[in-house]
Amino acid sequence: MGGCSADIKALLVDVTDPGNPTPGMLPAIFRDVIGRLDAAGLAYAVVGRIALTLHEQARFVGEIEIVADLGADGGERATEFVRATRSRFAAHMDLHQCRRPITLTLRPCIGTIEARLLAEAVTRPWFGVPAQLASAEHLLWLWCRTDAPDHPADAAALIASGTVDLCRVRSLLRETDDDEESGQRRLRLAIGDAVLSTTSSFSRLMTERRTQLDPNQVPVWRLQGAQATDGGDR
């Protein structure tokens, strides 16, 4: 299962205030950020829910999250980059000017795994520009290493979609996990949640299907069995 940026656009509406233009500005801000990264020749990968849509169904997005190779002074460069973006789109990114601002998170890549994350990013036309999106495996690896509130649900959804190589994710976690194996534990929990959600969806589908069936209809397999029995009795 995969999606496209058009799926995200369809969700960029403030349901409490349909006239609020800020959610719909996310594509324009995204294009501006990607254009500046490309112009600077920086390797990067989009992560978070924007990248999730490449591998699973779209969800509402209010944040642009990017990991980039920003060099030795990466932290300062990222801070300046974000500050400049907020200044350009202050009406939609400044908490003092809008109720629910769009946020931008840009941070330098750390370690060999994140360097691979950038190298293995998937190029797709996203919001009208070619963008580098993180692979399913690296997305799940990132989520299993952090405890952000929405990560468990997103990780379970990604696993349930069937687009991620869990063996690869386990291998990545073995390379980077701490002594307590917190990442592996989060992965196991996400797998369990994915199984439960899939089972629940299947059960709901079958229940809905049963309500649509004619209670007087006899299944074909039962008719065939009855005919076979009658033929054997003759």
Model confidence, pTM: 0.81
207 vs 98, which has greater pLDDT? 98
pLDDT interval class at 210 (50, 70, 90): low
pLDDT tens across 213-225, in order? Answer: 666 666 655 666 6
pLDDT tens across 23-37, in order? Answer: 999 999 999 999 999
What is the C-alpha to C-alpha distance for residues 173 and 131, in angstroms, rounded to an integer? 26
pLDDT interval class at 177 (50, 70, 90): confident
* 58 torsion bin: left (phi>0), alpha (psi -120 to 50), beta (else): beta
pLDDT tens across 54-83, in order? Answer: 999 898 999 999 999 998 899 999 999 999
177 vs 87, which has greater pLDDT? 87
Angle of helix 182-212 versus helix 151-160 axis, rounded to 10: 60
Mean pLDDT of the chain: 88
What pLDDT does 195 receive?
Answer: 84
CA angle (9, 43, 157) in 5-degree steps: 45
